[in-house]
Amino acid sequence: MKKKLLVFIVAATMCFHSMAQKAQVGWSDMDKKSVWAPYLSTVVNGPGDEFITLNHKGGLGVDSKSTAIFTRYDRHFNPLLEKELFDGKQKVHVHSLRNINGSLLLFTQQFETHGLSIASQTLQVITVDPMTLEAGAIKDLSAFDYRGKRSAPRVSVESSGDNSHVFVFATEAYNKDEDKRYYMGVWDDKLNKQWDRIVSLPYSRKFIDLCGHQLSNEGNVYLLCRQYEKEVTPLPFDGIVENTSPYAYKIFVYSKNDSLPREVTVDLKGKFVHQAILDIDKNGAVRVLGLYC
């Protein structure tokens, strides 16, 4: 059975530009002496035509300590400056690094424990100067509670297509038979909070499955879901269900001023589409892409 790629334009328009660049790619050797040696996590744009890498090292347990290593390179891959953050002295876990309109934002997690169990985690952000690689103060963004729940929150940090907003999305901790709840928080590019909310999907988890999430340039959150005609059996893995029912793709749009989400049904043009993903580009075009048979 031949699979094809189907693209739906939900809003706005899109265009393609053919851009071809000649590049020479080379590989360098890395001598990894132990499992605690630094490993490359992220590469982001730096000042001008430079780029910055984030390496970090440390243990995997919640009580372990991390060291973040920033390195600035010129366009020819020559290192210009290197700085270490935390020096393995704090119980901080490196989450991700983003360049938002020229500002380097390092997102970290701090875990609080109760005995041998995790009680909560706090997502924090540190602004790093892209020239000096000096770190500013730590700012708390969101906290997530684990108490009495079987699952741990799963946290992601993203930005809008035009980098005007920062987006934190997380699956709240939940027990096996509960409907899942989702945290969504939106900040502007100066880290001023615009809004945040904890929501449940408009339908029971036995009839709906979350497929993806995106943030628009206006600071609205888009959730792409499959809604089933009949009850389905959720599996232990988040976002996957035992599918024995026809379904439709729907987009739920959450915004700062609306208490309930807007609901949009995606027109599949009569195709059976699976593995659909949601995308919003820097011009604000909202697209659903998927494979169909």
Give the pLDDT confidence of 131-140 residue by residue, as tens digits: 999 998 889 9
> What pLDDT is stored for residue 33 in this prediction?
43
Q: In sequence order, which residues have a C-beta less than 8 Å from that of residue 17 and are 6 or more positions away?
A: none
User: Residue 116: pLDDT band by 50, 70, 90 thresholds?
Assistant: low
> What pLDDT is stored for residue 184 in this prediction?
95
Please give the single-letter amino acid code of residue 160: S
> What pLDDT is stored for residue 106 in this prediction?
93
Nearest alpha carbon to residue 125 among 112, 139, 111: 139
Q: Would you say residue 22 has pLDDT above 50?
A: no
As a whole number, mean pLDDT of residues 180-208 equals 91
Nearest alpha carbon to residue 102 among 79, 80, 128: 128
**Would you state the structure tokens that stand for residue 70, as one six-digit string?**
């920033």
Give the alpha-carbon dihedral of 203, 215, 260, 191, to 10 degrees: 130
Q: Would you say residue 27 has pLDDT above 50?
A: no
Report how far residue 160's alpha carbon sits from residue 116's, in angstroms, rounded to the nearest whole number: 38
- pLDDT over 70, % of the chain: 72
Pair 271, 291: CB distance under 8 Å: no
**Would you state the structure tokens that stand for residue 86, as one six-digit string?**
């935390």
> What pLDDT is stored for residue 61 in this prediction?
57
Q: How many CA atoms lie within 13 A of 138 on its CB side?
A: 14
Report yes or no on whether pTM surpasses 0.85.
no
User: Residue 13: pLDDT band by 50, 70, 90 thresholds?
Assistant: very low
Q: Would you say residue 59 has pLDDT above 70?
A: no
**252 burial via Cβ count (<10 Å: 0-12, 13-18, 19+):** buried
As a whole number, mean pLDDT of residues 57-85 equals 82
As a whole number, mean pLDDT of residues 136-146 equals 86
As a whole number, mean pLDDT of residues 8-19 equals 39
Pair 55, 47: CB distance under 8 Å: no
Poorest-pLDDT segment among 77-81, 97-101, 196-200, 228-232: 228-232
- pLDDT over 90, % of the chain: 38
Quote the mean pLDDT of the chain. Answer: 79
> What pLDDT is stored for residue 141 in this prediction?
93
pLDDT one-digit tens code per residue, 205-224: 788 888 899 999 999 999 99
Q: Would you say residue 163 has pLDDT above 80?
A: yes
Poorest-pLDDT segment among 18-22, 43-47, 226-230: 18-22
What ranges do the domains of the chain cover? 4-11+39-292
Name all contacts of 76-84 with Cβ < 8 Å and 24+ positions apart.
80/50, 81/132, 81/133, 82/133, 83/132, 83/133, 83/134
> What pLDDT is stored for residue 85 in this prediction?
85
Q: Would you say residue 144 has pLDDT above 90?
A: no
User: Residue 18: pLDDT band by 50, 70, 90 thresholds?
Assistant: very low
Of residues 238 and 258, the one with the higher pLDDT is 258
> What pLDDT is stored for residue 62 in this prediction?
57
**264 burial via Cβ count (<10 Å: 0-12, 13-18, 19+):** middle
Please give the single-letter amino acid code of residue 161: G
> What pLDDT is stored for residue 189 in this prediction?
92
